[in-house]
Chains A and B, each alone.
Chain A
């Protein structure tokens, strides 16, 4: 049995560690590319959202490398993601692929079912082994989050264009290779060093503009589908932060229901004047994080969403009110398989120009 799964940013590092440590043979799909997207869009429903299409491409490319089992997360709505697994299974079966799909549904309070599904993936294991694998995966996940944050902080000050991104790639490789939590720790320390070295002392603008990235989790975390918004902004000299990191997503998506963490969380409180009810996906988080960035006096917010994403449409609909009330520029970028780098770059440049000009103006006014 060779297990594969869909890509979402650097999540593969964590998932691979978890599954391999539990004894599964893992095939990581090739990083998403134009080929992935074109295979995926060819076989997916036209109006399905982008993640479903790229997932299909990932699965097919992984099966070309010998994978025969697909691990996928489920969901209970109202976002479409919850039905992805079943629909993808139909699509791939109709194409003639032979595979098993194991859909791990969110626990809704019952952890046993989740463990059963995981058990189907990796075989029987003593409890101790689960704990060990989970600790390794957790360590990697936290390390990846930290490295990504360091890269965001380094880009506006990097010595030469691309230095921080290259440093991040080498640091992530170290973490990916580490075989134990202790080694992950060492890899992380080394990674911090590499990323520090990418910054040039006195390089860049000493007070760069700050832009927050909010939106739907997949498009926010997967640089391939968002035309590398984060890197591009960083290389334009912008200090970028995003509302979601993989660790947050896992905590929320997989553990939320076990620990009942959702209510009373900060984004929900902040979003209340504009959107006071859960709308599925990350709709409320998008609105709440925009309010948060405005309060922290960020210079702008960019919302990323897949075309036809329902929760983000609700958020997008109320964001102009947030922008007006709190005086923070907000731009929405919608992505589908037709998005082009050129279009995104022009919009990003114009947004950064706008933000910088208003900063300069404020500065000159004193």
Chain B
């Protein structure tokens, strides 16, 4: 290990590190990167509808592993990026497209296509020379995403871990039709009742998801190798094989495929700190996280939009508020 003296005067002999947090609807991921951008720690947790508790839990776990490290920058991303940003005191709050692109370009510097399929949504990012050239997110429903695969695996009685291998055993995948999850499911049931073999159905499902993905998210995109496949679904060998078949090119799945958003957030934080010329991170510190955080919401009756305004409190102090379309509650 390379010793990083860093800002020795300010923080003792602590090595500098960067924290990235990706709060999604299904999973919350945390990573700690060293100054070179290598992963020191990574955590993959279920959000379970309670992002604040999950962030606190994750931070408690990391606090021990990260002792002796100085958090020089903190970045958040994902659908809960603002919430996480406020709680942690993030230096950089970024959308997940940018975060995934940055992480992918770090791992595979010449990457030109990123396929990302997570729990609730999917995206494609086209890069050239390390910069985003084009992108798209799913516009239809969650039929191509991780939650759907989990659900169908459950319905077929296949453990999700074995889903991928099973798909690889198929010789003649069946064709499954369906624009949305409900229709795909009913067509799948129909195929099952016609007597098709389970591995063929599983493989057919993978192919259907890949086809839907390429025809919706990937439509009109200039997909060129190297292609990187990341997000929780990248663990599924059946999906990877279906992509390789459809695109006729090998697909790389990075080592930390399921926390790439968090890695990107940490890298973006490092970039941000660097751009403002160093200085201390806005990070509240690991101790602060034991504070009592609470989110509460109320319906604003100011107009028929009836916006649900969310209050984030640390102890008794309101530290953030958002959710109104008109913005009248945003300042306090």
Q: Which chain A residues have a beta carbon within 8 Å of chain B's beta carbons? A: 30-31, 33-36, 160-162, 165, 228, 320, 329, 334, 341-343, 345-347, 349-351, 353-354, 357-358, 361
Q: Which A residues lie within 8 Å of B325 (CB)?
A: 228, 341
Question: Is A354's CB under 8 angstroms from B135's CB?
Answer: yes
Return 13 A-B CB contacts under 8 Å, by A number: A161-B327, A162-B327, A165-B327, A320-B220, A346-B79, A349-B94, A350-B135, A353-B94, A353-B98, A354-B132, A354-B135, A358-B131, A358-B132
The 4 closest A-B pairs by CB, nearest first: A350-B97, A33-B304, A349-B95, A35-B304
Output the residue of B133, B134, B137, B331 with the most chain A CB within 10 A: B134
Query: What residues on B are CB-neighbors of A329 within 8 Å?
Result: 133-134
The residue in chain A whose Cβ has the minimal distance to the Cβ of B141 is A338
Given contacts A320-B220, A334-B139, A354-B132, contact A30 B98 (CB under 8 A): no
Considering the chains assembled together, what is the distance between the CA atoms of A162 and B327 in angstroms?
7
Q: B33 → chain A, closest Cβ, in Å?
A: 20
Q: Is there a chain A Cβ closer than 8 Å to B248's Cβ?
A: no
**Which residues of B from 127 to 143 have beta carbons under 8 Å from A?**
131-135, 137, 139
B327 A353 Cβ-Cβ under 8 A: no
| Contact residues in B for A320 (Cβ distance below 8 Å) | 220
With A33-B305, A161-B330, A342-B79: A347-B137 Cβ-Cβ less than 8 Å = yes
Chain A residues, CB < 8 A from B91: none
- Other A-B pairs, 5, CB within 8 Å; known A35-B306, A350-B97: A30-B304, A161-B330, A353-B98, A354-B98, A354-B135
Flag if B220 contacts A34 (CB, 8 Å): no
B154 → chain A, closest Cβ, in Å?
A: 26
* Distance (whole angstroms) from the CB of B95 to the closest CB of chain A: 4
Closest A residue to B98 by CB, please name it.
A353
Chain B min CB distance to A35 (Å): 4
B303 within 8 A of A: yes
CB-defined contacts of A31 to chain B, threshold 8 Å: 303
A51 to B94, CA, bound (A): 33
Number of interface residues of B (CB under 8 A): 22
Tell me, in angstroms, the Cα distance from A161 to B324 when the chains sit together: 14
Contacts of B70 in A (CB 8 A): none
- Look across to chain A and name the residue whose beta carbon is closest to the beta carbon of B135: A350
Q: Is B96 an interface residue (CB 8 A)?
A: yes
Is the CB–CB distance between B98 and A349 below 8 Å?
yes
CB within 8 Å for A357 and B131 given contacts A162-B330, A228-B325, A347-B137? yes
| Nearest-neighbor residue (CB-CB) of A334 within chain B | B139
- Least distance between B268 CB and chain A CB atoms (Å): 10
Q: 1/0 contact trace for B314-332 toward A, CB 8 Å?
A: 0000000000010100110
- Quote the shortest CB–CB distance from A363 to chain B (angstroms): 13
- Shortest CB–CB separation between residue A27 and chain B, in angstroms? 16
A354's partner among B96, B133, B137 (CB-CB below 8 A) is: B133
Q: Given the complex, which residues of A lie within 8 Å of B132, measured CB to CB?
A: 350, 353-354, 357-358
Against A, the Cβ 8 Å flags (1 = close, 0 = not) of B289-315 are 000000000000001111000000000
Contacts of A165 in B (CB 8 A): 327
Residues of A within 8 A of B305 (CB): 33-35
Known: A33-B303, A33-B304, A346-B137. A353 touches B95 (CB 8 A): yes
Give the distance in Å from the alpha carbon of A228 to the alpha carbon of B307 in the complex. Answer: 15
A351 to B330, CA, bound (A): 24
B220 to chain A: which residues have CB within 8 Å?
320
Contacts of B331 in A (CB 8 A): 160-162
Known contacts A161-B327, A342-B79; decide if A361 and B131 are in contact (CB<8 Å).
yes
Contact A343 B327 (CB under 8 A): no
Docked pose: A178 CA to B245 CA in angstroms = 66
Smallest beta-carbon distance A61→chain B, Å: 8
Q: A97 to B294, alpha carbons, bound, how many Å?
A: 47
Closest to B307 in A: A34
Q: How far is the CA of A353 from the CA of B100 in the complex (A)?
A: 13
Cα A90 to Cα B72 with chains together (Å): 64
Report the separation of the CA atoms of residues A30 and B302 in the bound assembly, to the nearest whole angstrom.
Answer: 13
The A-contacting residues of B in range 80-137, CB under 8 angstroms, are: 94-98, 131-135, 137
A335 to B95, CA, bound (A): 20
Chain A nearest Cβ from B260, distance in angstroms? 15
A328 to chain B, nearest CB (A): 11
Partner of A36, one of B97, B133, B139, B304: B304
Report the minimum CB–CB distance from B84 to chain A (whole Å): 15
Contacts A33-B305, A349-B95; A343 near B135 (Cβ below 8 A): no
Contacts of A228 in B (CB 8 A): 325
Q: Which of B132, B137, B304, B306 has the most CB of A within 10 A?
A: B304
B163: shortest Cβ distance to chain A, in Å? 28
- Nearest-CB distance from B81 to chain A (Å)? 9
